[in-house]
A and B are shown apart, each in its own frame.
Chain A
């Protein structure tokens, strides 16, 4: 029971961002919150599957500091992103903007959905029972005989 409580407490705790050392945080709480939200949109180029807010790599820390500097300097979120985008390209944004180069990436869910629907339709058409040929003369006679033996159906 106690273990369960501890586990629940761990699950319930707010997203821990232990890597942001207090000294790096902005004194203004709303600006810091903005910086964190922005940082979660920026890819750590070294670890590649983490945001800079989640990574302990020194480049991620440098980028966290840059995000905060730009915010203090009065940049909008879009300006901060374009600052990093100019240096690191689409890959630095965890939500890449649409371009023809990554159109295939954006189209993948739609393509997968259409392909799945197509497969289902195909499978259903195959599974449909073939139309039965009409009864032959002999079969019809046998059926009539069975009906007489069982008595008329309700």
Chain B
């Protein structure tokens, strides 16, 4: 082995450690902004229509509930958001949902395993971003959607196909980098 390649071999561990450090830093940085979630699982529903379902309203909310047929009837992209009043990340993503609603994008909500009075209290306190609001207290419809936690957000395009699913709070970064470009195309 020549002297040069021997010296390069000595540098290899340092190089590997440096590459690892850069990788870990990038992963942590992307985790902080919400772009990367190591526990994230790809949805099996992407490219498929939403499951068939009907759900009751959140009592006294004055917001009409919705089912699969109502999603199809919108005729444009719809955001379906599974949330709960007991869910802390739902508070983090709430301003982003409000922003979408103000822009006229239909955001449909499904209150997951939540008592109607608690859902109502949450909406009164933080504001209501939902054009339609249903209640899934047993959590069975959520399972049909492949939901494994709240918040979870789905984008259904104008053809009525699920194009995107995000598990976790919609941060401003996720909204700008992931959801906006898809909304423009959906």
Q: Confirm or deny: B166 has a beta carbon within 8 angstroms of a beta carbon on chain A.
A: no
Q: CB < 8 Å: which of B39, B42, B44, B149 contacts A87?
A: B44
A45-B148, A46-B148 as given contacts; A62 in contact with B41, CB under 8 Å = no
Q: Are A45 and B41 touching (Cβ within 8 A)?
A: yes
Contacting residues of chain B (53-111) with chain A, CB-CB under 8 angstroms: none
Q: Are A62 and B44 touching (Cβ within 8 A)?
A: no
CB neighbours (8 Å) of A62 from chain B are 138-140, 143
Q: Are B113 and A87 touching (Cβ within 8 A)?
A: no
Q: Are B41 and A87 touching (Cβ within 8 A)?
A: no
- Measured in the bound complex, the distance between the Cα atoms of B44 and A85 in whole Å is 8
Q: Are B44 and A86 touching (Cβ within 8 A)?
A: yes
CB neighbours (8 Å) of B41 from chain A are 45, 88-89, 91
CB neighbours (8 Å) of A89 from chain B are 41-44, 146
CB neighbours (8 Å) of A46 from chain B are 148-149
Q: Are B149 and A59 touching (Cβ within 8 A)?
A: yes
Instruction: Name the residue of chain A whose CB is nearest to the CB of B44.
Output: A89
CB neighbours (8 Å) of A58 from chain B are 113, 139
Q: Confirm or deny: B45 has a beta carbon within 8 angstroms of a beta carbon on chain A.
A: yes
Contacting residues of chain B (137-170) with chain A, CB-CB under 8 angstroms: 138-140, 143-146, 148-149
Given contacts A87-B44, A88-B44, 5 further A-B contacts (CB under 8 A): A45-B41, A46-B149, A62-B139, A87-B145, A87-B146
Binding site for B on A (CB under 8 A): 45-46, 48, 58-59, 62-63, 66, 85-89, 91
